Structure 1
Amino acid sequence: MPVVLAVTLAAALIACSPGDDPPSGASRESGAADHLVAAVVVEHAATTSSHERPGSLRHRRQVRLFSQEEGRITLLDVFEGDMVREGEVVVALEDDLLQAELDKARATLAQTELDVRRLEDLVSKRAASDAELSQARTAVAVAQGDVRILETRLAFTRIPAPFDGVVIERLVEPGDFVSKNTHLLTVADPESLVAEVYASELILPRMKVGDPAQLRIDALGAVAFPARILRIHPSLEQTSRQGIVELTLEDPPAGVKAGQFVRVTLETAAVERLLIPFRALRRDRDGELVWLVTDQGQASRRKVRSGLQMADSIEILEGLAPGDRIITRGFLGLSEDKTVKVVPE
């Protein structure tokens, strides 16, 4: 009797791979030739996946104000955090020299217009040529252009707010002399806050604009706020193969600020996937594979390509079909065409 018990224990050990529990239904009376395995039938399943991604809040509508003329700053009364109204002059530059040049250009224009009227009278009396009149009219057009240029440059010395917003950067002070194209202020629209996160190329096709999401802001505690996908960027980052997803908060809480760290939970739409237990997927030098049980009760290797992993299951993209029976336990000593006995998990 001890000899029979030893043979039975040896068969059970052969049927289990390291770290696997032996199939619970293994019979104590199995013969030594039986290779015990556990197996499941592959089927499609409608699944959704939840993915948490870290990101940051930022202002989607943000404008940096630059000087278009050089000069000394004579007006700058707003500071970081101040609200400004659209069209409100927030920065003014010294304009005395431009104003003097404009006065001069207007005087020149008035003189050229007077010359044209005088020449028109002389031409009518045949006391001047048409060529002289044409040159005078050209001088009027040039003088008008000079006036418009100086009026435009003078307007550039008054810099208005582009929209209702908040000042988030003040980089100069009254009395500073600034050259052209100097960054003076930055104004942002506080209502344009978006969360920006990166998502894998594997889940991007299963998301669309308007899909709901949950957003947590670490600085405001563990409360989750409802959000929606605003935009999915069309290009991917070449190294990580991830794309940018922008989300808007449906009801921004008090204390929310640009730059805060967020955690966004994205839910993908239900998709039919071919799922198998993760423990059934094996790897060797040639890549990923699974072991199948054939209709003749024999083991057979099959190369596969996997996709998303969800909990203890993994998606199979290539290599399997619904109805295939794959081995989930009992890999130790398994070989091609070896006869196996399927027992319950």
Structure 2
Amino acid sequence: MSFTIRGQAAKPNLKRMKFTVKTPLLVLLLITLAACERESSPTTTQPRPHLVEVVEAQRIDLSVRRERTGTLRAIQEIQIFTQEEGQITELPFFEGDRVKRGEVIAKLDDRLLRAQLNRALALQKKSETDLNRIRDLVERRLTTAAELTQIETDLAIAQADVAALETRLGFLTLRSPIDGVVTERRSEPGNIADRYAHIMTLADQQTLITEVRLSELLLNHLSVGDTVELYIDALRTGSAAQTPLYGEISRIYPDIDPMTRTGTVEIALHPVPLGARAGQFVRVILQTQRSERLLIPFIALRRSTAHPYVFIIDDDNRAQTRAVQTGLEIGDQIEILEGLEPGERLVIRGFTNLRDNQQVTIVGSASNGSNR
């Protein structure tokens, strides 16, 4: 490339510019570029460190607290059915009335059955008279043993008829099987009750119970007789609503639902506080006994198709995968039953592209009790 220069104000003459490059100038340019490239390129490439944040696994002495909701119901509720048909002649109790065990709560018309019973009694008496007469004749050899057998059979049938009718007459008078409260009255005197008609419901409300579903992991830490906090929101308002009532675990059902892995716990509220009623909403606070648990932050747990695992950082600052067996979730932490020892360092941040046996750089350590 050449320029025409004239005096101090030399300017390129674009019309006379020639795009030609001489060989010495080209060689000099290539040498200069090669030198610049060698200076800009490092002699070795340093890999970027893999940064991780860790936390130590710790044993913590604590209890597990869980809140569940349920519905209060009477410990015993009995539906009263008729066993005979007939017209209701007495039904003295209404909803809310208290009844005692053995007290008459309903009566049906018994005239037809009583007439049948009188007929059966008359046949029984006749059979007894005939039997005494036939026995005397048999002793004097004036009749056969077959006739004696027939009379004995007639008497047995008459006695059975009497017993059956007396039993059916007893069904026409209904008595309360428990001390309780009438919760439902389904008919009125004068109505015709069919056989097996539901006419009344009684409930023993001296003790109220509720049932809640719990994880199989928590059930193993509860026992029958454990004290439980209860809150019945309908009984109190304002700050008093936070005052707990107390019940106890009265039954732990033996079966576990195979789909949800939960079981049923029955909780009894006794004595029943004033105003508590079956059907009310109740909040249940269950708390296990204090014990030492090995806890890690939930975010440290990794999951695969085979089993959960964590990344452990060894003394050489290398990441190692470790399979673990988990227990209860407690807040933002999870209990480890097997696979870890207290004091081991776990990765809680920096999982991207992290591999087994990879060298890492620790940039921070978090407290196990921190919320993340």
In the alignment, what sits opposite 1:40? Answer: 55
Partner amino acid, structure 1, of 2:273: P
The 5-angstrom pairing of residues 321-340 of structure 1 reads 321-332=341-352, 334-340=354-360
- Gapped regions of structure 2 (runs ≥ 5): 1-45, 367-372
Query: What is the rounded CA distance, in whole Å, between the counterparts of 1:98 and 1:206 in structure 2?
Result: 59
- Which one of the candidate residues 88, 97, 101 is aligned to 1:82? 97
Counterpart Cα distance in 1 of 2:185 and 2:75: 19
Q: Is the CA contact (8 Å cut-off) linking 2:85 and 2:192 kept in structure 1?
A: yes
Name the Cα RMSD after superposition: 2.1
Worse-superposed segment, 241-250 or 64-73: 241-250
Larger Rg: 2
**Structure 1 position 287, deviation (Å):** 6.1
Cα deviation per residue 1:84-130 (whole Å; 9 max; x = unaligned)?
A: 11111111111111000000000001111110111122222222222
1:141 counterpart letter in structure 2: A
Q: Which residue of 1 aligns with 2:190?
A: 175
CA distance change for structure 1 residues 238 and 259 in 2, over 3 Å: closer, same or farther? Answer: farther
* Deviations 1:128-179, CA, capped at 9 Å, x for gaps: 2222122212211111111010000001000000011101111112111122
What is the aligned counterpart of 2:295 among 269, 272, 275?
A: 275
1:54-69 matches, within 5 Å, as 54-69=69-84
**Counterpart amino acid of 2:265?**
V
> Which residue of structure 2 lines up, in the alignment, with residue 11 of structure 1?
none
> Does the 8 A contact of 1:58 with 1:196 survive in 2?
no
- In structure 2, distance between residues paired with 1:290 and 1:32: 25
Deviations along 1:172-205, one digit per CA (max 9) or x if unpaired, are 1211112211111111111131122111112011
Query: 313-322 or 43-52: which moved more?
Result: 313-322
Q: Please give the per-residue CA displacement for 1:285-318, whole angstroms capped at 9, x wherever unaligned.
A: 7664322111221122334343321123111234
TM-score, normalised with respect to structure 2: 0.79
Normalized against structure 1, the TM-score is what? 0.85
Tell me, which stretches of 5 or more residues in structure 1 are unaligned?
1-30
Q: State whether structure 2 residue 153 is matched by structure 1 residue 135.
A: no
* Aligned residues between the structures: 315
The answer as to 2:73 corresponding to 1:53 is no
Letter in structure 1 aligned against 2:145? D
Q: Deviations over 1:29-77 (max 9, x none)?
A: xx99554433233243333100000111111211111111111111111
Deviation of 1:322 after TM superposition, in Å, equals 3.5
For 1:123 and 1:148, how far apart are their aligned partners in 2? 29
SS of the counterpart of 2:206? helix
**In structure 1, how many angstroms separate the alpha carbons of the residues matched to 2:326 and 2:338?**
7
**1:193 maps to 2:213:** no
